[in-house]
Amino acid sequence: MSERTLVLVKPDGVQRGLVGEVISRIERKGLKLAALELRTVERSVAEEHYAEHKDKPFFGDLLEFITSGPVVAIAVEGVRAIAAFRQLAGGTDPVEKATPGTLRGDYGLETQFNLVHGSDSPESAERELKLWFPDL
C-alpha cells in the first residue's frame, strides 16, 4: 500500500550540495517525489515540526540549526515510504548509529548536522505533511 512521508534536506545538506544525492537515492529506491520545495523555515514552523523534542536539552540548538539556511522539503510517495526513507537516511548519530551506505553514514559526522529528516511513523508523516504541504 502506497503512503507518503516528509523528507527534509537540512541546511547542512543544502549547503554542502547534497540535494541531488538525496533525491537520487530516493528515486533509485523506487520512491516518487510528490512535492518538492526549497524553503527557509520560520521559527514557528520549526517549533511545530520538532514539537516532540521541546523539552530536550538540544531543542534550542536544533531550532537554530534548522532555521539557519534553506532546506529542501520533499513529499515522498511509495510502498513503505516512511520506513524506506528512514532506512536510506540511517540512524540519528551519523557515526555511532548510521552505517555506511546510508546518507548519514556516508556523509555525516555529527548528530546535529545529520543532513536529512524523515517522518518516523504514519502519525508523524500525516502531521508533518499537513504542516509543510497543506495543499497536497
| Contact between 41 and 128 (Cβ < 8 Å) | no
Of 135, 116, 111, 90, residue with least CA distance to 6: 116
Question: 102, exposed or middle or buried, with CB in 10 Å at 0-12, 13-18, 19+?
Answer: buried
Out of 92, 99, 121, 122, name the contact with ligand RTP by CB under 6 A. Answer: 92
Instruction: Please state the closest distance from residue 110 (CB atom) to ligand RTP, in A.
Output: 8
Q: Which residues of 2-29 are buried (b: 16+ CB within 10 A; e: fewer)?
A: ebbbbbbbbbbbbeeebbebbbebbeee
- CB-wise, 78 or 125, nearer to ligand RTP? 125
Assess 112 for contact with ligand RTP (CB under 6 A). yes
| DSSP 8-state symbol, 136 | -
| Binding-site member from 6, 22, 62, 73 for ligand RTP (CB under 6 A) | 62
Size of the site for ligand RTP (CB under 6 A): 10
Which of the residues 19 through 58 are near ligand RTP (CB under 6 A)? 53, 58
Point out the annotated binding site.
Answer: 10, 58, 86, 92, 104, 114
Interaction site with ligand RTP (CB under 6 A)? 53, 58, 62, 92, 111-112, 114, 117-118, 120
Positions marked catalytic = 117
Point out the annotated binding site for ATP.
Answer: 10, 58, 86, 92, 104, 114
